[in-house]
Structure 1
C-alpha cells in the first residue's frame, strides 16, 4: 500500500480522541482517526458508566436495611439475584457503548476511521498493522491506559479481575480480595459487599480513596471499614491456595479468596507505538515530555491527550485534553489554556471528594481549615446518611478558597459547587453571600464555610456577612 497524507492523524477513538476530532473536523482539516482494540470509550465500556450502574443496584438493595425505621416492614427479607443484577449492568454498559458509537465512529467511512494498531516508522509517518501508511503533519496520541497487573500475578489468569474483565462476569465470586483501595477499589468493593460477596480490602497506603487530609481519612476508614474489612500500610503477596483459591498475605493477615479485584493503578498505552521513531524526548519512565497547557510534546508536531499522559485519568479531563490537543493540531502556533480546577470523586457511599488543593498541597503556615461533621445536618439525618466530614481550605490573609476534601452524602454535588467557586477565584465571604436553600445538604457546606470564615483575615465589607449592599 502507498502512503496517504492528511493534515491530522488521531490515534485512539476514546474520549480524548473523539474530543480532539471535535476540534479538527470543523477546522476543515483532512484527518484520520485510528483505533486499535475495542471501540467505545473507557468510560462507557469498563469505567464510569458500568461501575455507576452496579453501584446503583447495590445501593438500592442495601437501603432495605434502614426501611424498618420508616415503618416499612419485611424489606430485610428481600434477596438479590446476582446473575440478573450483572445482566442489568451489562445491558446498561452495552447501551452506553452503543450510544457512543452511534454518535461517532459508526458514522465514519473506512477512509477516515481506520481500525488497527498504529506505530511510528518516522516522526510524521504511521504504519497500521493492516498495512496502511499514514503521513500526517500533526499527530494526536490519545491511546488511553490499561490496568496494571504485576507480572508475578499474571499467572493466576482470570482469577485476577480488573475493570477490563470485571463487567464481563456473569456470576460473582463468593469471596474477593480487593487490592488497591482507591476510587475503583472502594466503589466496586463496596458494591460487591452490598450484593452479598465476602470482601476484604488491602492497600499499601495508610489511607483510602486518595484522601490526604488525616481527619477525613480517619472518618472514611471508620465508615467504610464497617462494610469492608481493611488492611492498610503493608505490602501484599498472592499465592495459590487449596481448591483453586488464592491466598492473600499482608503483614500478619492471611485471607483466602476465590478472586482478586486488582485496582492498583493504570499504565499509559504507549508500548506498541515505537516512540523511538517519533524522535521525541522521553522522561525517565519513557513518557513523552509534554506541556499540560498546550498538550504539545516538546516543540514537536505531536500532542498527547487523555489517560495516556498519566496525569488526570478522568473523563472530563480527557475531554479538556482532547479539545486542547485537537485545537492546537490545527494551528501554526499552539495556544496555552488554563487547566480546570482539580475535581475528583469516588462514588462510594458516602462519596469521597477532593477539590482544588488537597491537604498535603497546602502551605500549613498560610492556610486555614473549616469543617463540619455530617452528624447534626438535618437533611442528612432525614436520609439516614448523616455520617461523614467536610473540610474546606482557604488562604488566611486573602480569604480565597483553595480546596477541600470530604466524605459526605451528595459529595458529588458539593464538590462541583466548590470547584466552580475555586475556578472563579471566590473568597469564603463571597461564597457565604450565595443563596443556600433549606433543608439541603449544601447547608453542611455553608456551616463549614462559616467555620472557615471565622479564621480568615479578609471579611466582607458589609455589616451583615450574608448580604450584599446595593
Structure 2
C-alpha cells in the first residue's frame, strides 16, 4: 500500500547540493523529505573529491621519498602496498561519511527515503512505497561518467571515477582516455604509486586552462614518466590476455587496465520529468537565473542544473535555493565567478577569464605575473615551479587569475574574493602579506603590474623634482 507524505520541500539526491539544502531547510523548521537511491553523500564523498584527494595524498608521500635528496636526505624508492593505499582511501571516506549519513539527517528532522524517485505529476513524486506531495521540489541528482561510443568499448572491462577506487591491484599499465582534470589527477597519482601510465586525449590536456599553466603541469607529468598522446582519438578498444589494447590510427597501445575519463552527463533517466513539466537536454535541466526549472515549483542544484560541475558550485546553488524558496529573496545564480582547481602536482587553479577569453571579450588587456622562482618560501621548500598570473583591463579591473604551483588552490582564494567583490589590482598592492609565504606572490604580481609606471623615466623625473623639498 502506498503511503502519502506531505512536506514543505522534497529533495531528490543526497549529494553535496541536496544535503546542503536539506540541512538548511530542516534547521529553519521546514518539513523536509530527502530521497536517495544510492549512497548518501553522492559522488563527492564516495567516488569523487574525497577518494581522489586521499589517493593523491598517498601518491605525494611516495614521491616525496623519491625526491628527498634535494633536502640532504637519502632518496629511496618507496615500497608501495597498493591495497593498503586503497584502504587508506576508504578510511578517509568512512571518517567523513557520518556528516552525510542518513542518521544525521534524520536527527535533524528530515524524512529520508532510500528509493528511486519518479515524478507522477507536477507536484508529486513516488519513491518506493511512498507518494510525496510537496510545495517545492529540488532535483539534485548529480552526474555520471559519459562513455564515448568507441568501437569495442562495451566488450572490455574499464574503470570510471565511480569504480577505480574499488581496485585493490596496482595496474601494470593504466591507459587513460581523457586528459581533463580527472584523467590528469589519476594519471599522476597512479604513476607515483608505481604504475606505467598513458593518457590519450583528443585535443590538448587540460584544454580549457591557460596554455602557459598547462605547460608547467605537462613538464612535470612527463618528467615523472606519464606518456601523453594528444590530438589523438581512440578508434577501437579490444580485449587482450593481459588487459586491453587501444587503436590510434596505425598504433596499438597495450595496457593492463583502462580508465575512461572524458566527461560527465547529468542524471535524469527514470525521473519521468515529462510528468513534472520539466524541460531538459543532454546538458541538464533547463533553468532560469534563480535555478527554477520550467515548472516553477521545481528547482535544480549541482551538476544536473547544467552548469559547472563542481562540489563547491553545488553548495553555492544550495545557498541560492534556500534564499529563493524559504526567504523568498530573488537570489540569482552567478556561478561564472566560481573557481576551479586541478589537484595535480603542481596544482592548477583558475577563476574568471583566461587571457585568451579576456582578449576576445575586452580587446586590450594587461597581465600581472610573478614566478615562484622569485618567492623565498617556494625556494626554501624546493617547489619553485609555476607562477601567479592575473588578467586585468587597462584600468586595472581584475578579469581573471590563474595560478600553477604548489598549493595553487589555496593561493587562488584572494583572487576569487577580488572578482566577487569587484576589486582592482591596486587593492592587492595595499595588502600586507606575511613573510615568508607563497601568498606574497600575489602581492608581487600586483606590484609587477605597476612596475613600468613606477620605475619609468617620468617617475624618476618626478622624484628628482620632489627632492628639492628634502
TM-score (norm. length: structure 1): 0.89
Q: Which one of 428, 432, 438 corresponds to residue 429 of structure 2?
A: 432
Question: 1 or 2 for the larger relative contact order (CA 8 Å, sep ≥6)?
Answer: 1
Q: Which residue number in structure 2 is paired with residue 136 of structure 1? A: 134
Cα distance change, pair 423–251 in 1 and its aligned pair in 2 (3 A): farther
What is the CA–CA distance in structure 2 between the aligned matches of 1:455 and 1:298, rounded to whole Å? 53
In the alignment, is residue 310 of structure 1 matched against residue 306 of structure 2? yes
The more displaced of 145-154 and 44-53 is: 145-154
How many pairs align? 452
RMSD: 2.6
Q: Which residue number in structure 1 is paired with residue 377 of structure 2? A: 379
C-alpha deviation, 1:392, in angstroms: 1.0
CA contact (8 A) 2:217 2:345 kept: no
Cα deviations by residue, 1:339-371 (Å, 9 ceiling, x for unpaired): 472210111100011112223421352321122
What is the CA–CA distance in structure 1 between the aligned matches of 2:383 and 2:329, rounded to whole Å? 52
Cα deviations by residue, 1:48-67 (Å, 9 ceiling, x for unpaired): 11111111111111011221
Q: Which one of 354, 357, 376 corresponds to residue 358 of structure 1?
A: 354
C-alpha deviation, 1:286, in angstroms: 7.0
Cα distance change, pair 88–23 in 1 and its aligned pair in 2 (3 A): closer
Q: Which one of 194, 198, 201 corresponds to residue 199 of structure 2?
A: 201
CA contact (8 A) 1:267 1:310 kept: no
TM-score (norm. length: structure 2): 0.89
Gaps of 5+ in 1: 458-462, 465-470
CA contact (8 A) 1:142 1:304 kept: yes
CA contact (8 A) 1:139 1:329 kept: no
What is the CA–CA distance in structure 2 between the aligned matches of 1:400 and 1:23, rounded to whole Å? 35
CA contact (8 A) 1:141 1:305 kept: yes
What is the CA–CA distance in structure 1 between the aligned matches of 2:320 and 2:139, rounded to whole Å? 13
In the alignment, is residue 33 of structure 1 matched against residue 30 of structure 2? no
SS in 1 for 2:209: coil
What is the CA–CA distance in structure 1 between the aligned matches of 2:27 and 2:105, rounded to whole Å? 16
Gaps of 5+ in 2: 455-461, 464-470
What is the CA–CA distance in structure 1 between the aligned matches of 2:442 and 2:332, rounded to whole Å? 34
Q: Which one of 402, 409, 413 corresponds to residue 410 of structure 2?
A: 413
Q: Which residue number in structure 2 is paired with residue 86 of structure 1? A: 86
CA contact (8 A) 1:22 1:323 kept: no
Q: Which residue number in structure 1 is paired with residue 122 of structure 2? A: 123
CA contact (8 A) 2:98 2:104 kept: no
Cα deviations by residue, 1:301-347 (Å, 9 ceiling, x for unpaired): 11000111131211111111122223423356744365472210111
Cα distance change, pair 431–6 in 1 and its aligned pair in 2 (3 A): same
CA contact (8 A) 1:176 1:258 kept: yes
The more displaced of 346-355 and 234-243 is: 234-243
Cα distance change, pair 77–328 in 1 and its aligned pair in 2 (3 A): closer
In the alignment, is residue 301 of structure 1 matched against residue 313 of structure 2? no
Q: Which residue number in structure 1 is paired with residue 23 of structure 2? A: 22
Q: Which residue number in structure 1 is paired with residue 468 of structure 2? A: none
Cα deviations by residue, 1:57-91 (Å, 9 ceiling, x for unpaired): 11111011221232222x41431111211111121
Cα distance change, pair 136–360 in 1 and its aligned pair in 2 (3 A): farther
Q: Which residue number in structure 2 is paired with residue 112 of structure 1? A: 111
Alignment of 1:117-196 (within 5 A): 117-128=116-127, 130-152=128-150, 154-156=153-155, 159-196=157-194
What is the CA–CA distance in structure 1 between the aligned matches of 2:332 and 2:240, rounded to whole Å? 57
